[in-house]
Chain A
Amino acid sequence: MRRLLWPVVVLVLLLALNVFFTPSFFSIEVKDGHLYGSLIDILRFGAPLILVSLGMTLVIATGGIDLSVGSVVAISGALACLQISQDTSVFTAVVSALVLCVVLGAWNGFLVAAVGIQPIIATLILMVAGRGLAQLITGGQIITINSPAYKVIGGGYWLTVPFGILIVIAVLAITAFLTRRLALGMLLESVGGNAEASRLAGIRARGIVIMVYAFAALCAGVAGLMISSNVSSADGNNAGLWIELDAILAVVIGGTSLSGGRFSLSGTVLGALIIQTLTTTIYSIGVPPETTLLFKALVVTAVCLIQSPSFRAKAFGRRGRTAPPSPAPEEKVRVTA
């Protein structure tokens, strides 16, 4: 739990900064039968990033990385919107988009696990080609649709709560159950820690890796539906652009090491929330757009540094060293985080 202390501190600091500039920041009211407020916004706009990051966490836990999620986001939204614009039922459109995403993810997994291409290269293929595929589906245009049913996924509400948040909670619960209550999580960590040793121990690493990439693509697919549904249109060029980088960042801020092995789902959710809060903060306190990226970079650097025990020991003197020594693997995770 101590691993999550620093991300929590950063999130609280960011929220406090917002309250300082906008006193009404924490107020949540019910407007037109749904919840309304800045905190709800952070959750609602952060929902796609949380989903993509969850998938990314599992991929990174196996020692891989998935650069193609941004393109999958675009493909999923494009295919769903195209079909709805041709009067296909929303259900068919959503299901076929998600099936395509799973197939693409399995393709990534196949390249990594069966062919043996390095993950960063294997997924780079789909990252580049996928954007083209999305543009092919949309014909290079922005497809605008008018479907109240589709709108619910990313822009709708259920019992006053934004539907996107409910989807995230459901996916998070399922993932947590599968990886923490069943042996799957341990198998994942074992494959990420040492693939060869796990194979010798009798774990079918290949199947697990393919499944994990398919899961990451499925998460990205759902995120893509949310993003396109939120604005009732599909934009092959811009939907999900650079979301893979934000997702990797969220995973790292959450304390999962890029070298694979142990992972933290709650840490990833925190990381994604920090990134989204940072974005919202920039809009509300009025950081000029020219300096936005620099501001973000400074905050992220600070977060990463403050999470590193060796940096804390150096910066704050002896107090850091008197901390009880933690077990070796955890130490490794914290250093690289």
Chain B
Amino acid sequence: MFKRISALVVVGLAAMSVAACGGGGSTTAGTSGGGDSTITMGFSQVGAESGWRTANTKSVQDAAKKAGIELKFSDAQQKQENQIKAIRSYIQQKVDIIAFSPVVESGWDTVLKEAQNAKIPVILTDRAVDSKDTSLYKTFLGSDFVEEGKKAGQWLVEEYKDSTDPVNIVELQGTTGSAPANDRKAGFAEVIAAESKFKIVASQTGDFTRAKGKEVMEAFLKAQPDIDVLYAHNDDMGLGAIEAIEGAGKVPGKDIKIITVDAVKDGMQALADGKINYIVECSPLLGPQLMDLAKKVVKGEQVPPRVVTEETTFTQEQAKQVLSTRQY
């Protein structure tokens, strides 16, 4: 029995070392070949669960075509094991660089180590991993959720700068424990803590969904007699809440000011219609930035370990202007 196991281990090690040699070989070939050789990128996407994600996929695919990078794309359908499988197959195919959006934060050390042994650099997009060993990936390209929360808070401070009356805020949080929910809450709270007139009177999770957003807002409207501002961690919950506010005979955007995060099409429409007051963008269009980083990494240049997606914010006037050109 022991012999058999050790034989397996030896075979496994041999296979790994072969893969490592092969990986190294292809990378050197890629760099020494100069400008005419194309870069091959393996990209593993989370899935296609929302319009945001679909726009993200399209951005990566279009940008790769434009940058002349050959893209091998796979959809993990929300499952970590699919993603690990995809990354292993990229290692076997000896791609020049691997990029992926991790489905979950933990459990990546082994497969990332395999990529490292094969000398294939890895870039994380959109979501981070909680691995202690940061040498396992070159850089993390994605939104800064804390910054998004701060931007939402800053607009609120600016909007109410002339008033001294207390401002009652209700908050619809994202899925409990998820990184965007934790960070958007923290960033917002940090900014509004500067002035004592701002008070979060109720805060509940709406699970990032329209249905829950509506249900929770209905309860808020009854339990809290006086709500001035709604801060929702994504557009969908905000859209659900708008229906609840209208059902209560109030005017969303006027009686209750609404701030959301994301800027998906339905949200932008509501913003242009005056039902939402302010949207902080969480942009899925990170393809061009990803391709730039990939080229630098393959050339062996240094890249910063954290790159924030280029994002903006929208007021109602801005929404009206850009609505027709929004891609998602």
User: Known contacts being A235-B209, A289-B204, is A280 close to B219, with CB within 8 Å?
Assistant: yes
Q: Please tell me if the beta carbons of B48 and A140 are within 8 angstroms of each other in the complex.
A: yes
Interface membership of chain A positions 130-171, coded 1 if the CB is closer than 8 angstroms to chain B and 0 otherwise: 000001000111101000000000010000000000000000
Q: Please tell me if the beta carbons of A239 and B204 are within 8 angstroms of each other in the complex.
A: no
Q: Which residues on the B side are within 8 Å of A125 (C-beta)?
A: none
Tell me, in angstroms, the Cα distance from A135 to B47 when the chains sit together: 11
194-208 of chain B: CB within 8 A of chain A: 202-205, 207
Q: Please tell me if the beta carbons of B49 and A283 are within 8 angstroms of each other in the complex.
A: no
Q: Please tell me if the beta carbons of A283 and B216 are within 8 angstroms of each other in the complex.
A: yes
Q: Please tell me if the beta carbons of B219 and A36 are within 8 angstroms of each other in the complex.
A: no
Q: Please tell me if the beta carbons of B266 and A144 are within 8 angstroms of each other in the complex.
A: yes
Interface membership of chain A positions 263-306, coded 1 if the CB is closer than 8 angstroms to chain B and 0 otherwise: 00000000000000001101111101110100000000000000
Q: Please tell me if the beta carbons of A41 and B218 are within 8 angstroms of each other in the complex.
A: yes
Tell me, in angstroms, the Cα distance from A283 to B203 when the chains sit together: 9
Q: Which residues on the B side are within 8 Å of A45 (C-beta)?
A: 215, 218
User: Known contacts being A155-B243, A237-B49, is A37 close to B222, with CB within 8 Å?
Assistant: yes
Interface membership of chain B positions 184-200, coded 1 if the CB is closer than 8 angstroms to chain A and 0 otherwise: 00000000000000000
Q: Please tell me if the beta carbons of B223 and A231 are within 8 angstroms of each other in the complex.
A: no
Closest to B219 in A: A283
Q: Please tell me if the beta carbons of A38 and B209 are within 8 angstroms of each other in the complex.
A: no
Q: Please tell me if the beta carbons of A140 and B47 are within 8 angstroms of each other in the complex.
A: yes
Closest to A233 in B: B210
Most buried by B among A142, A279, A288: A142
User: Known contacts being A41-B222, A45-B218, A284-B222, is A140 close to B243, with CB within 8 Å?
Assistant: no
Tell me, in angstroms, the Cα distance from A38 to B223 when the chains sit together: 9
User: Known contacts being A140-B48, A140-B54, A142-B236, is A235 close to B211, with CB within 8 Å?
Assistant: yes
236-253 of chain B: CB within 8 A of chain A: 236, 239-240, 243, 247-249
- B38 contacts chain A at the CB level, 8 A cutoff: no
- A76 contacts chain B at the CB level, 8 A cutoff: no
Closest to A34 in B: B247
Tell me, in angstroms, the Cα distance from A24 to B173 when the chains sit together: 26
217-263 of chain B: CB within 8 A of chain A: 218-220, 222-223, 236, 239-240, 243, 247-249
User: Known contacts being A31-B249, A141-B54, A231-B240, is A238 close to B207, with CB within 8 Å?
Assistant: yes
- A98 contacts chain B at the CB level, 8 A cutoff: no
B258 to chain A, nearest CB (A): 16
Q: Which residues on the A side are within 8 Å of B49 (C-beta)?
A: 135, 140, 237
Q: Please tell me if the beta carbons of B47 and A41 are within 8 angstroms of each other in the complex.
A: no
Tell me, in angstroms, the Cα distance from A32 to B250 when the chains sit together: 11
Q: Please tell me if the beta carbons of B202 and A286 are within 8 angstroms of each other in the complex.
A: yes
- A21 contacts chain B at the CB level, 8 A cutoff: yes
Closest to A228 in B: B211
Q: Which residues on the A side are within 8 Å of B236 (C-beta)?
A: 142
Q: Which residues on the A side are within 8 Å of B209 (C-beta)?
A: 235, 238
Q: Please tell me if the beta carbons of B223 and A22 are within 8 angstroms of each other in the complex.
A: yes
Q: Which residues on the B side are within 8 Å of A31 (C-beta)?
A: 248-249
Q: Please tell me if the beta carbons of B50 and A142 are within 8 angstroms of each other in the complex.
A: yes
Q: Which residues on the B side are within 8 Å of A285 (C-beta)?
A: 223
Interface residues on B, range: 20 to 34
Question: How many residues on A have C-beta within 8 angstroms of the other chain's C-beta atoms?
Answer: 38
Tell me, in angstroms, the Cα distance from A233 to B176 when the chains sit together: 23
- B214 contacts chain A at the CB level, 8 A cutoff: yes
Q: Please tell me if the beta carbons of A231 and B218 are within 8 angstroms of each other in the complex.
A: no
Closest to B51 in A: A141
B328 to chain A, nearest CB (A): 10
Interface membership of chain A positions 10-28, coded 1 if the CB is closer than 8 angstroms to chain B and 0 otherwise: 0000000000011011000
Q: Which residues on the B side are within 8 Å of A232 (C-beta)?
A: 243
User: Known contacts being A155-B243, A231-B243, is A22 close to B222, with CB within 8 Å?
Assistant: yes
Tell me, in angstroms, the Cα distance from A32 to B53 when the chains sit together: 39
Contact among B50, B176, B214 for A290, CB-based, below 8 A: B176
Tell me, in angstroms, the Cα distance from A171 to B248 when the chains sit together: 28
Tell me, in angstroms, the Cα distance from A299 to B300 when the chains sit together: 59
Tell me, in angstroms, the Cα distance from A143 to B70 when the chains sit together: 33
Q: Please tell me if the beta carbons of A21 and B211 are within 8 angstroms of each other in the complex.
A: no
Q: Which residues on the A side are within 8 Å of B203 (C-beta)?
A: 286, 288-289
49-68 of chain B: CB within 8 A of chain A: 49-51, 53-54
Tell me, in angstroms, the Cα distance from A231 to B209 when the chains sit together: 10
Contact among A21, A37, A140, A233 for B223, CB-based, below 8 A: A21
Tell me, in angstroms, the Cα distance from A38 to B215 when the chains sit together: 11
Q: Which residues on the B side are within 8 Å of A24 (C-beta)?
A: 222
204-245 of chain A: CB within 8 A of chain B: 227, 230-233, 235, 237-239
Q: Please tell me if the beta carbons of B211 and A238 are within 8 angstroms of each other in the complex.
A: yes
Q: Please tell me if the beta carbons of A142 and B51 are within 8 angstroms of each other in the complex.
A: yes
A78 to chain B, nearest CB (A): 13
Q: Which residues on the A side are within 8 Å of B211 (C-beta)?
A: 227, 230-231, 235, 238-239
Closest to A48 in B: B211
Tell me, in angstroms, the Cα distance from A142 to B328 when the chains sit together: 12
Q: Please tell me if the beta carbons of A283 and B204 are within 8 angstroms of each other in the complex.
A: yes
Closest to A288 in B: B203
B171 to chain A, nearest CB (A): 10
A274 to chain B, nearest CB (A): 16
Q: Interface of A with B (CB < 8 Å)? A: 21-22, 24-25, 31-32, 36-38, 41, 45, 135, 139-142, 144, 155, 227, 230-233, 235, 237-239, 279-280, 282-286, 288-290, 292
Selected A-B contacts with CB under 8 Å, 15 pairs: A36-B247, A140-B49, A140-B54, A141-B50, A142-B236, A155-B243, A155-B247, A230-B211, A230-B243, A231-B240, A235-B211, A239-B211, A283-B219, A283-B220, A289-B173
Q: Kindly list 19 other residue pairs between chains A and B, CB separation below 8 angstroms, not including A142-B210, A155-B247.
A: A36-B248, A37-B222, A38-B222, A41-B218, A41-B222, A45-B215, A45-B218, A135-B49, A142-B51, A230-B214, A280-B219, A282-B204, A283-B204, A283-B216, A283-B219, A283-B220, A284-B222, A286-B202, A289-B203
Among all A-B residue pairs, the 6 with the closest Cβ atoms: A283-B219, A140-B48, A284-B223, A289-B205, A231-B210, A238-B209
